[in-house]
């Protein structure tokens, strides 16, 4: 199970990074979101993978590690804020610069939807 | 405590002038003088105690882990300097009142001046090496502001920059030196360091430490070869020169020599480095002072020369020489401040400082002339003036020095030459400006300045004369106290007197006086000699060096930073691959001691879906909508994974964020191109695939390696203390709102800031709105489907109820402010989508900005509330309450904090999305709030 979990995080991280290396804003934002899923899963698993042992104090006495969960919970919310900020920054950049490139070339917007 | 006030009062005082105005100058100057006057009073109150050999100290802990504390001491050395700084500082405040022209910003000047005064006081009173350095750098910064006060003049800007560069670089060297000393001694406490002379000087690190400290002192005190910044700092207003370049800034370097004398002095290295540097500086400064034509230029080089004298004295390996050095510090401060102020008056009255144009001013300003003559005589070292006494001590001590062995006669000989030169330039300064025939062609007809402007000069001149006439009475006690601090022990017995009988020193003095007179009369030969050299402008060289540095840096930046995010990402990923990859090869195998847990069909199916969706997101990225849908599958699977592995809070949060995130990205996609054109060539794709595969491989290996190794968690503490300490059963929530509440407070603040940032980014944004989708199909005509509207309206109260429930139970069961906030936001968003922005705004005209800010406010106030009960920030309390009908419930103050989290999440999320949604309608956010 651990191997399968690790493979999943690895593939998600790889897909996210590939997108983050693209030359337009939107794929980069999608890539960063994907990467943040992978990172959250990775961080979360640092407390070990355990089923049916939620960290809610009851009589069972069997609990999973609550600390990574608390960290990941805020990471999810902050990750959302970051995604929102970067996507809107991208929109603003496109409106002001007329381009959604992130490769340093200030080429004009491709014609497709201007015409 | 009142010891700290000596430094703190001027610091607070730097705010006082800023409250004054440029029009009411008298009030502004008077108010500014209050703080230093009180500080001077406090220092004088301690005087008796200090002169008796006591060392008052005061300390407040600052960063104990670094050995840094706000510790002040007032020994004899500090006292001497405190009196100089505050005394002359007050005179400068008075003088400045009349010096500044109407157009000059007086509050700004005084604020900088007080800031500088604070930092000087900090240096001389610091009882901790690191603290001393902090104030040392503060003097560099505040002197930069003062020298560049007339920032519209290129000269002032360049001079200020040069001073900052040289003294700032020296400051860094000093820091390194002090850190070395601190490591050798094992403490940064001043007293411990001063008592550890043996330990320091026997350590192999002594020499580098000494070199670095001296580098700091020499740059600050303008010793050769770092002297070049001082003349250029003369672009400052004259009161600044009078203060910084007589009594304070440049004296910080020699103060450091005196302060560290007990710990560092006495070795061969110290004697040669300090003694010879002082000697060279003394001659260099004196020679060029004779050649300059600018009044302030002469004074600047003369300052360099006198700083050389003081440095030489500290390097002569004699206890009496150290006393002479301290004496000369006082004397020089008095006559040089007076002369600078006189130069300012002349400049003010005549409109020029060029000594070739000035002549015969005594007819116009007899009083000023008298002062200049007296102070000039003190500078030249004429008997009956204070300058004579310390200069004679210097000559006497130079005869005794063991420096240079068999060639030790060179030192007194060269010292006499230096004195001779100083007689000559003092004569030139006074005679050429004030006498030498009647004045001609002056830009302005001079008058005596206002009495109050002349008063500081008079006071300083009187001090020069009185000390010169009655040295034993006025100075012995103070000098002995200062010397005992600089010598770590008892001061040598002082016999300050005008007449010591006919001795070699007196003969040398007389030689210097007569020789100086002769040299002055024959000065045209010196000028002719100097004309054979090509003048080298230090500033040009310095500027060239700076420009070269800038060019090299610019080229390096241009070659690395070309604005391409892809390139930055590339380097970042390569770095990660190298660092993490090489670390992974060091581990003992991938598989740890733990066995894999068994798999089941659901898990396999979930993992496969997640992996395929992830890959599909990447592969189909050019068709953005499909890519986005695939992304949402990954999000859902992530949320399920959290649910499967005992993290219900995370699952709920992820699910709610997923909804909001998708709405956001869909909206964004509406305004962005629907497809990404094919741009990358095959090599680029291959490169990125390889990089991504390598990265994914490392993440997976690392994850697997960790998962198969036993876990030692610090979480047992949280599990044990959650119920007794935090009053909640849901440990994750208790960590968020209680144990690590401060982190959460930071996080919701970030969330709120991001939302405000988005709000501002959307302001006046003009976006292209496509009328059809990528394939040319027009959008549906039915903008707000009736079914969706009805459902959304029906769901809203239900969703609000659910979120309220989830919020309340959060402390004890999965839920809490984050999740409840997201659910509320999602329900409201659904209504926005179903009914449109207009409809919703009309019925619920809610501003979300105040809600988000109020959330952060509530959370902060909850934390502050614990101060009322004498507890640290964010301490929570809880109790059980019995409510009729409902029964026993448990309430914690943490729920208030959670309420803040809830409000912030709702406010921020809607601030982002509702404002973005408004872009699709005529309600675009603009400077004038939406008027719907």
Bridge-partner residues for B141, per DSSP? none
Residue B37 CA to residue B42 CA, distance in Å, equals 9
Residue of A nearest to B597 (CA): A1
Shortest Cα–Cα distance, A62 to chain B (Å): 10
Question: What average pLDDT does chain B have?
Answer: 88
Q: Cβ–Cβ of B703/A45 closer than 8 Å?
A: yes
Of A9, A77, A103, the CB nearest to B653: A77
Please give the structure tokens belonging to residue B261: 């004398």
Of A27, A82, A109, the CB nearest to B676: A27
Q: Cβ–Cβ of B647/A54 closer than 8 Å?
A: yes
pLDDT band at B932 (very low <50, low <70, confident <90, very high): very low
Shortest Cα–Cα distance, A12 to chain B (Å): 5
Residue of A nearest to B604 (CA): A4
pLDDT band at B1 (very low <50, low <70, confident <90, very high): low
Residues in chain A within 8 Å Cβ distance of B713: 47, 65, 67
Least confident piece of the model among B504-508, B549-553, B651-655: B504-508
Q: What is the pLDDT of residues B421-470, one digit of tens each?
A: 999 999 999 999 998 888 777 778 888 888 899 999 999 999 999 999 98
Contact B237, B98 (CB under 8 A): no
Residues in chain A within 8 Å Cβ distance of B822: 77
Residue B646 CA to residue B883 CA, distance in Å, equals 33
For residue B660, give the nearest of B832, B795, B815, B810 by alpha carbon: B832
Please give the structure tokens belonging to residue B396: 């006497």
Q: Cβ–Cβ of A14/B672 closer than 8 Å?
A: no
Residue B840 CA to residue B655 CA, distance in Å, equals 25
What's B779's DSSP letter? P
The reported pLDDT for the residue numbered B439 is 79
Residue B854 CA to residue B904 CA, distance in Å, equals 7
The reported pLDDT for the residue numbered B890 is 63
- Tokens 């337009």 map to which residue? A24
Shortest Cα–Cα distance, A108 to chain B (Å): 13
Q: Cβ–Cβ of A74/B736 closer than 8 Å?
A: yes
Please give the structure tokens belonging to residue B709: 């190794």
pLDDT band at B884 (very low <50, low <70, confident <90, very high): low
The HSE-up count of residue A113 (CA atoms within 13 Å, CB side) is 23
- Other C-beta atoms within 10 Å of B646: how many? 24
Residue of B nearest to A22 (CA): B566
pLDDT band at A105 (very low <50, low <70, confident <90, very high): low
Contact B229, B163 (CB under 8 A): yes
Please give the structure tokens belonging to residue B802: 């659910």
> Mutation test of the interface with chain A: which of B573, B693, B731, B772, choosing the one with the most A Cβ atoms within 10 A?
B731
Residue B864 CA to residue B866 CA, distance in Å, equals 5
Residue B300 CA to residue B230 CA, distance in Å, equals 7
Q: Is the pLDDT of residue B883 over 70?
A: no
DSSP B436-491: SS---S-SS---PPPHHHHHHHHHHHHHHHHHHH-HHHHHHHHHHHHHHHHTTSPP
Asked if the interface predicted TM-score (ipTM) of this complex is over 0.95, the answer is no
Strands B57-63 and B68-73: antiparallel
Q: Tell me the residues of chain A between 14 and 53 that have a Cβ less than 8 Å away from chain B.
A: 14-31, 33-34, 37-38, 40-42, 44-53
The reported pLDDT for the residue numbered B213 is 95
Q: What is the pLDDT of residues B356-398, one digit of tens each?
A: 888 888 888 999 999 999 999 999 999 889 999 999 899 988 8
Residue B915 CA to residue B909 CA, distance in Å, equals 10
For residue B136, give the nearest of B108, B169, B102 by alpha carbon: B169
Residue B20 CA to residue B27 CA, distance in Å, equals 7
Cα–Cα distances in angstroms (integers) from residue B241 to residues A68, B87, B149, B342, in the given order = 60, 16, 12, 12
Q: Does A60 touch chain B (CB under 8 A)?
A: no
Q: Does A98 touch chain B (CB under 8 A)?
A: no
Shortest Cα–Cα distance, B645 to chain A (Å): 5
Residue of B nearest to A5 (CA): B607
Q: What is the pLDDT of residues B897-926, one digit of tens each?
A: 889 999 999 999 998 988 888 887 754 454
Residues in chain A within 8 Å Cβ distance of B699: 9-10, 13-14, 38, 42
- Other C-beta atoms within 10 Å of B169: how many? 15
Q: Cβ–Cβ of A49/B597 closer than 8 Å?
A: yes
Interface size A-B, in CB pairs within 8 Å, comes to 321
Q: What is the pLDDT of residues B570-628, one digit of tens each?
A: 889 999 899 988 988 888 888 888 888 888 899 999 999 999 999 999 999 988 999 99
Q: Cβ–Cβ of B570/A53 closer than 8 Å?
A: no
Provide the residue ranges of all domains of chain A, joining segments of one domain with +: 2-51+63-114
Q: Cβ–Cβ of A64/B646 closer than 8 Å?
A: yes
Q: What is the pLDDT of residues B28-81, one digit of tens each?
A: 899 999 999 999 999 999 999 998 888 899 888 887 777 778 899 999 999 999
Tell me if residue B100 falls in helix, strand or coil. Answer: coil
Q: Does A97 touch chain B (CB under 8 A)?
A: no
Residues in chain B within 8 Å Cβ distance of A36: none
The reported pLDDT for the residue numbered B448 is 87
Residues in chain B within 8 Å Cβ distance of A86: none
The reported pLDDT for the residue numbered B178 is 95
pLDDT band at B893 (very low <50, low <70, confident <90, very high): confident
Residues in chain A within 8 Å Cβ distance of B765: 91-92, 95
Residues in chain A within 8 Å Cβ distance of B701: 6, 10
pLDDT band at B889 (very low <50, low <70, confident <90, very high): low
Kind and range of the H or E element at B250?
Answer: helix B249-264
Provide the residue ranges of all domains of chain B, joining segments of one domain with +: 265-490+502-529, 730-924
Q: Cβ–Cβ of B818/A73 closer than 8 Å?
A: yes
Least confident piece of the model among B94-98, B329-333, B572-576, B846-850: B846-850
Q: Cβ–Cβ of A103/B566 closer than 8 Å?
A: yes
Number of residues assigned to chain A: 115
Q: Cβ–Cβ of A65/B715 closer than 8 Å?
A: yes
pLDDT band at B717 (very low <50, low <70, confident <90, very high): confident
Contacts of B375 (CB under 8 A, 6+ apart): B335, B338, B339, B342, B457, B460, B461, B464
Higher pLDDT, A114 or B152: B152
Q: Is the pLDDT of residue B871 over 70?
A: yes
Residues in chain B within 8 Å Cβ distance of A70: 732, 735-736, 740
Q: Cβ–Cβ of B673/A113 closer than 8 Å?
A: yes
The reported pLDDT for the residue numbered A108 is 44
Residue B272 CA to residue B275 CA, distance in Å, equals 5
Residue B738 CA to residue B717 CA, distance in Å, equals 13
Residue B10 CA to residue B116 CA, distance in Å, equals 9
Q: Cβ–Cβ of A85/B757 closer than 8 Å?
A: yes
DSSP B575-626: HHHHHHHHHHHTSS-SS-SSPPPPP-HHHHHHHHHHHHHHHHHHHTTTBHHH
Residue of A nearest to B571 (CA): A21
Residues B172-195, mean pLDDT to the nearest whole number? 93
Please give the structure tokens belonging to residue B781: 């005509």
Q: Does A93 touch chain B (CB under 8 A)?
A: no
What b-and-e string marks burial along B196-207, b requiring 16 or more CB atoms within 10 Å of the CB?
bbeebbebeebe
Contact B99, B346 (CB under 8 A): no
Which CATH number does A2-51+63-114 carry? 1.10.287.3510
Residues in chain B within 8 Å Cβ distance of A76: 650, 653-654, 657
Q: Does A99 touch chain B (CB under 8 A)?
A: no
The reported pLDDT for the residue numbered A106 is 53
Of A33, A54, A114, the CB nearest to B646: A54
pLDDT band at B880 (very low <50, low <70, confident <90, very high): low
> Mutation test of the interface with chain B: which of A3, A7, A14, choosing the one with the most B Cβ atoms within 10 A?
A14
Q: What is the pLDDT of residues B761-793, one digit of tens each?
A: 988 887 777 777 777 777 777 778 888 889 988
């Amino acid at each position: 199970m651990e191997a399968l979990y690790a493979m999943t995080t690895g593939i998600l991280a790889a897909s996210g990074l590939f997108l983050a290396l693209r030359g337009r804003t939107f794929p980069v934002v999608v890539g960063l979101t994907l990467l943040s899923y992978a990172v959250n899963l990775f961080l979360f698993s640092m407390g070990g993978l355990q089923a049916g042992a939620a960290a809610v104090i009851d009589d069972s006495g069997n609990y999973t590690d609550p600390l990574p969960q608390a960290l990941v919970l805020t990471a999810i919310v902050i990750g959302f804020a970051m995604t929102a900020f970067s996507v809107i920054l991208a929109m603003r950049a496109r409106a002001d610069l007329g381009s959604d490139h992130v490769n340093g070339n200030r080429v004009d917007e491709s014609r497709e939807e201007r015409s | 405590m009142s010891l700290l006030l000596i430094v703190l009062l001027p610091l607070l005082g730097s705010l006082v002038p800023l409250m004054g105005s440029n029009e009411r100058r008298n009030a502004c100057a008077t108010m500014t003088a209050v703080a230093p006057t009180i500080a001077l009073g406090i220092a004088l109150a301690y005087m008796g105690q200090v002169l008796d050999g006591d060392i008052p100290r005061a300390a407040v802990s600052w960063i104990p882990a670094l050995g840094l504390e706000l510790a002040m001491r007032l020994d004899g050395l500090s006292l001497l300097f405190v009196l100089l700084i505050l005394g002359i500082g007050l005179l400068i405040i008075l003088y400045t009142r009349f010096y500044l022209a109407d157009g000059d910003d007086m509050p700004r000047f005084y604020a900088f001046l007080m800031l500088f005064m604070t930092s000087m006081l900090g240096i001389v009173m610091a009882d901790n090496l690191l603290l001393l350095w902090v104030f040392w750098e503060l003097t560099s910064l505040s002197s930069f502001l003062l020298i560049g006060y007339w920032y519209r003049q290129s000269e002032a800007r360049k001079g200020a920059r040069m001073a900052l560069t040289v003294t700032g670089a020296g400051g860094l060297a000093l820091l390194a030196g002090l850190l070395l000393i601190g490591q050798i001694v094992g403490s940064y406490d001043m007293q411990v360091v001063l008592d550890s002379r043996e330990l320091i000087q026997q350590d192999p690190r002594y020499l580098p430490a000494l070199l670095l400290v001296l580098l700091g002192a020499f740059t600050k005190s303008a010793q050769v070869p770092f002297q070049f910044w001082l003349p250029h700092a003369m672009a400052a207003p004259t009161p600044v020169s009078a203060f910084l370049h007589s009594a304070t800034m440049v004296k910080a370097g020699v103060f450091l020599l005196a302060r560290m004398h007990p710990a560092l002095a006495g070795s061969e290295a110290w004697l040669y480095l300090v003694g010879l540097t002082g000697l060279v500086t003394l001659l260099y400064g004196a020679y060029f002072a004779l050649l300059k034509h600018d009044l302030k230029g002469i004074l600047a080089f003369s300052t360099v020369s006198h700083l050389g004298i003081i440095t030489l004295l500290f390097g002569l390996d004699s206890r009496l020489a150290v006393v002479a050095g301290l004496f000369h510090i006082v004397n020089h401060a008095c006559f040089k401040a007076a002369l600078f102020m006189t130069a300012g008056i002349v400049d003010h009255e005549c409109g020029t400082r060029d000594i070739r144009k000035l002549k015969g001013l005594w007819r116009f300003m007899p009083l000023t002339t008298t002062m200049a003559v007296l102070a000039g005589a003190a500078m030249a070292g004429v008997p009956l003036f204070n300058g004579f006494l310390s200069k004679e001590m210097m000559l006497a001590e130079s005869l005794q020095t063991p420096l240079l062995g068999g060639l030790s006669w060179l030192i007194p000989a060269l010292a006499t030459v230096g004195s001779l030169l100083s007689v000559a330039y003092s004569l030139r300064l006074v005679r050429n400006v004030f006498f030498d025939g009647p004045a001609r062609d002056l830009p302005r007809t001079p008058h005596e300045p206002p009495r109050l402007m002349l008063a500081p000069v008079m006071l300083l001149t009187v001090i020069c004369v009185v000390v010169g006439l009655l040295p034993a009475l006025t100075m012995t006690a103070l000098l002995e106290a200062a010397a005992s601090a600089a010598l770590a022990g008892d001061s040598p017995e002082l016999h300050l007197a005008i007449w010591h009988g006919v001795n070699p020193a007196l003969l040398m003095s007389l030689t210097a006086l007569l020789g100086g007179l002769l040299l002055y009369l024959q000065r045209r030969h010196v000028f002719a000699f100097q004309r054979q050299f090509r003048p080298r402008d230090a500033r040009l060289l310095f500027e060239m060096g700076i420009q070269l540095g800038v060019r090299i840096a610019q080229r390096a930046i241009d070659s690395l930073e070309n604005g391409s995010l892809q390139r930055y990402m590339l380097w970042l990923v390569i770095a990660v691959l190298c660092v993490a990859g090489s670390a992974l090869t060091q581990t003992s195998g991938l598989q740890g001691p733990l066995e894999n847990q068994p798999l089941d069909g659901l898990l396999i199916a979930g993992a496969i879906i997640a992996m395929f969706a992830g890959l599909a997101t990447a592969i189909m990225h050019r068709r953005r909508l499909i890519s986005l849908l695939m992304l949402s599958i990954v999000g859902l699977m992530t949320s399920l994974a959290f649910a499967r592995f005992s993290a219900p809070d995370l699952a709920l949060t992820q699910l709610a964020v997923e909804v909001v995130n998708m709405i956001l990205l869909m909206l964004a996609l509406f305004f962005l191109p629907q497809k990404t054109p094919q741009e990358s060539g095959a090599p680029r794709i291959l490169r990125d695939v390889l990089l991504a595969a390598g990265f994914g491989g490392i993440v997976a290996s690392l994850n697997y390696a960790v998962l198969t190794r036993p876990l030692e968690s610090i979480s047992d503490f949280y599990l044990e203390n959650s119920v007794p300490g935090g009053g909640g059963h849901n440990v994750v929530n208790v960590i968020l709102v209680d144990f690590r509440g401060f982190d959460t407070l930071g996080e919701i603040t970030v969330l709120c800031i991001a939302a405000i940032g988005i709000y501002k980014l959307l302001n006046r944004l003009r976006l292209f709105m496509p009328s059809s989708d990528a394939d040319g199909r027009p959008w549906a005509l039915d903008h707000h489907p009736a079914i969706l509207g009805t459902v959304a309206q029906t769901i809203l109260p239900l969703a609000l109820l659910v979120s309220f429930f989830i919020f309340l139970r959060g402390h004890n069961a999965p839920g809490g402010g984050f999740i409840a906030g997201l659910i509320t936001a999602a329900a409201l968003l659904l209504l926005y989508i179903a009914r449109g922005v207009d409809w919703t705004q009309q019925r619920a005209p809610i501003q979300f900005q105040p809600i988000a800010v109020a959330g952060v406010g509530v959370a902060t106030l909850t934390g502050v509330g614990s101060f009322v009960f004498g507890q640290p920030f964010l301490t929570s309390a809880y109790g059980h309450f019995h409510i009729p009908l409902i029964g026993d419930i448990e309430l914690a103050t943490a729920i208030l904090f959670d309420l803040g989290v809830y409000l912030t999440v709702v406010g921020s999320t809607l601030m982002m999305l509702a404002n973005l949604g408004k872009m699709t309608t005529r309600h675009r956010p603009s400077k004038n709030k939406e008027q719907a």
